[in-house]
Structure formats: C-alpha cells, structure tokens
Amino acid sequence: MISNRLKIVLGIFFIFLFSFAKPISDYDIVQQFKKSVSAITVEIRNSTDSTLTNELKLKIDELKQNSIENKALLNNAIYPETFGSVFAKLNKEISQAKTKNILSSNLETVTKEKDSMQVVLIDYSGKITELTNENSSLIGKIRVIKKSMKNDKNAIFKYKRLIEKLKNNVETRNILVASIVDSLFKNMEKSKGGDVKRLSLVRQIDENSIMETIVNSIDGNIAFMKNSSLSQDDLDFVLDEYSKFTKTWKRISIPLTKTYYEGAKSEMILKAINSKLKKWDVTIYSSLWNKLYSRFKEKGIKVKKFKSAKSFNKNLISYIDLKISGKDTKLYKVFRDSVWQQNDVQGWIGFLMDHRKLSKKQVAEIETKISEWNSFDSGEFMNQLIVGGAVLLFLILIVMFFKAKKKKNMIDDSSINYNQSIVSDEDDNSKER
C-alpha cells in the first residue's frame, strides 16, 4: 500500500522527468524508420546462412513492434508505401534470402561434389589405363606360355602366376570402374528420369571416357575368361564379376547413355553395350565348353566338337555308342579315368549344372552310357578271364598228368629192381648151398 504522499511525490518526479524528455521530430522518426528498413534489407541481401536469416527475422519483428505506434505517421510519410507493405517486402526479402542461401549451399555442395568427382575420375582413370596396359602385356605372355606348357613344370608355374596376376588386375579395374560409376551416378536410380542437373554436371566433367572405360572393362573381362585356366576359383570370380557388373549397369545404363547421347544414338549405344555384356555371359560358358572339348581331345578321345549342353550330351553318347557297337574298349579307361572322372572336368560339369547350362538328366544319360560301355568292357574281360582261366587249367592238368606219369614210371622201375635183386639173392643162396 503506497501512501498518498508517496504517490504525489512519484507523480511530480515523473512529470519532472518527462518534461526533460527530448521532443521527437516526426521527420526523424520517419528517417530512422527508413534507415532501419534499409539496413535490414542490406543485411538480408548479404546474408549467407540460415541462422543469420533467422536473426534478421527477429530484427524485423522488433522494428515492427517499435514502430507500430507511429503507424499513422509512417503510412502518410512513406506513401505510396505503407507500414504493412514495408514489412511485407522485408518478409519477402527474407524468404528470398533463405532460398538463395539454400541454393548457394547446394551450389557449394555440387561444386565440391564436382571437384571430388573430377579428382576420382582423373585418379581412377589413370589407374585403369595402367591396369589395362598391364593386362594386355600379361595376356600376351600367357598366350606364349600356353603353347609351351604341356610337360614343363616351370612353364605351368609361370602360367599360374600370370593368370593370378591378371585376375587381380581385372578385379581391381572392375572395382575402380564401379567406383567411378558410383561417384558419378550416386543415387541416380532414386531420380525417376535421371537428375537433370547431375547429368549435366557429369557431362561437364567427363567427356565420354566412362563409356570407353566400361567397354574396355567388359573386353578385359572377356579376355581374362578366354585365357584363364578356368579353375573353380576363376569361374567363381568371373561369374561374380559379371553379376556385379550387370547389376551396376542395370542401375545406370539409361541415365548414363542419356547423359552422353540423345535419341536414337543413346538407344544404339545402350544396345551395343548390352550386346557386349551378352557376349561376356556367352564367353563364360563357351570357354568352358571349349575347355571340356580340349580335355577329351588331349587324351585322344575323338568326340565331335560340342558348344552346348545339347551337343555335349549328343556327341558323347554317340561316341560311346560307336565304341560299344565296334566292341572297342581300348579307350574306356582313358575316357573314364583320365577325362570324365578328373576333378577339374567334374568341377566344370558341376558348374554348368549349377548355372543351368547343363541338366542333371543330360549328365545322367552320359553316365548311363559310360556304365554300359563299362559293362561291355567288363564282359569281354570276363570272357578273356574265362579263356585265360581255361588255358591255365589246361596247362595245370597237363603238368599234373605228366607228373603223375613220371611217378608211375618211377614206381614201375623200382619194383623191377626189387624183383631182380630177389632173384639174384636166390641164385647166390643156391650157389652157396
């Protein structure tokens, strides 16, 4: 409860205070307002990040609050503008600044991305070129060594080492190509028709080299396939690489070709690369069929050449049929032991079956034929065994016969001698008498 006296004193004090308050000019109010608006506008246009923009929003609100009591004066003084239109303009400037900041930030990000993409592209492209050149040299050496490799352990060892090196290089190159593609076409599959800005960016920094790189990479993988020993490891490697490559290609093929080419040319390039990929796929299995055929041929099994499961099945069965009908069992063991049951051959057959290039039924039919050949070959053997046995028995009987005869003769001889000795004794006795 404030006393009346105190109220009076306070009242006088405030009146005294306000009497000394500086009178404010309308003109100054308007000028100050205009200055504040101008300063805020400049700050908005110069702002570079969203936090600053938010601070400016607060400043605008503060100015509005502070100026509201002079709204009538300002409306008259700043005609044709109004108090409201000034703040509407400021708010518009703020939202434009925000948009500008976002775009600038995006531009900065895109520029950074572009720079990093360029670095990756240059660095990796260089490495890819080195690997491609090295691989060409390795393939040359492999081809030379293959010719002289038959019984030369040293050459075989060198060949294996070269293949291993080539495989590693092919794998490394595939990884580099995939990295380039990922770097250039990150998240491409998320945009329905391709990110237009991103595509133009890619086009800016990469002048068709990625297309060439992809084509060379496919060719490199095909060359490896043709020159490798096709061990189980090699086959797994080749298929794995093919699978990875085709997955990546599926993801980026359309935006990639559209980046560099338009209309019909884009379709043409797409078709050409798809065709190369098909060739890669075909080469994997054609190389296997070739390897299988070579193995039979090396061992003197003159089966007709096969390139598919159908011809493999047909030609092997007809070969065995021929042997059976001709009662030719000479090569049965070679066929079975030196070719059919070899680990690598069985491995290839298993691989073809796993990848549905050869059916279990087709293999079973061949094995049935082999068994038939086996039983035919066993029958002859049995005959030979029986004949042999009979001959042996006959010989044994002859030997026994002669032995028996000899014994009999010996007994006869010994009994004659005995009789003769008795007779002589009797003579002697008679003489003595």
Partner 1 sequence: MKKKNFFSVLIILGLLFLVSCSSVVLKPVNYSWALESELSVTNGKIHDIRNGIKMDISSLLKNEFGKMGGDIDKIRMIRNMSGYYFITASTFKNVYVFETGNGKMSLVRKISIDKSGFTNPKFNQRNDYIVFLYNTDKSLKLTEKGILK
Where on the chain is the footprint of partner 1 (CB under 8 A)? 20, 22-23, 25-28, 30, 73, 76-77, 79
> Any residues with CB less than 8 A from the CB of 306 and at least 6 apart, and which?
289, 292, 293, 312, 314, 315, 316
Closest CB to partner 1 among 67 and 283?
Answer: 67
Burial of 395 (0-12, 13-18, 19+ CB in 10 A): exposed
Contact 266, 257 (CB under 8 A): yes
Shortest reach from residue 76's CB to partner 1, in Å? 3
Closest CB to partner 1 among 26 and 130?
Answer: 26
Q: How far apart are CA 62 and CA 56, in angstroms?
A: 10
Shortest reach from residue 64's CB to partner 1, in Å? 20
Closest CB to partner 1 among 30 and 144?
Answer: 30
Contact 287, 222 (CB under 8 A): no
Q: How far apart are CA 340 and CA 304, in angstroms?
A: 16
Shortest reach from residue 79's CB to partner 1, in Å? 8
Q: What are phi and psi of 74, to 5 degrees?
A: -65, -40
Closest CB to partner 1 among 75 and 229?
Answer: 75
Closest CB to partner 1 among 76 and 341?
Answer: 76
Shortest reach from residue 9's CB to partner 1, in Å? 25
Shortest reach from residue 75's CB to partner 1, in Å? 8
Nearest Cα neighbor of 125 from 56, 208, 186 is 208
Closest CB to partner 1 among 33 and 293?
Answer: 33
Shortest reach from residue 29's CB to partner 1, in Å? 9
Shortest reach from residue 59's CB to partner 1, in Å? 24
The secondary structure element, H or E, covering residue 113 is: helix 83-147
Helix extents (H) in 228-359: 232-260, 263-298, 309-325, 332-333, 343-354
Q: How far apart are CA 294 and CA 283, in angstroms?
A: 16
Residue with structure tokens 């069992």?
329
> Any residues with CB less than 8 A from the CB of 220 and at least 6 apart, and which?
132, 135, 170, 173
Closest CB to partner 1 among 23 and 263?
Answer: 23
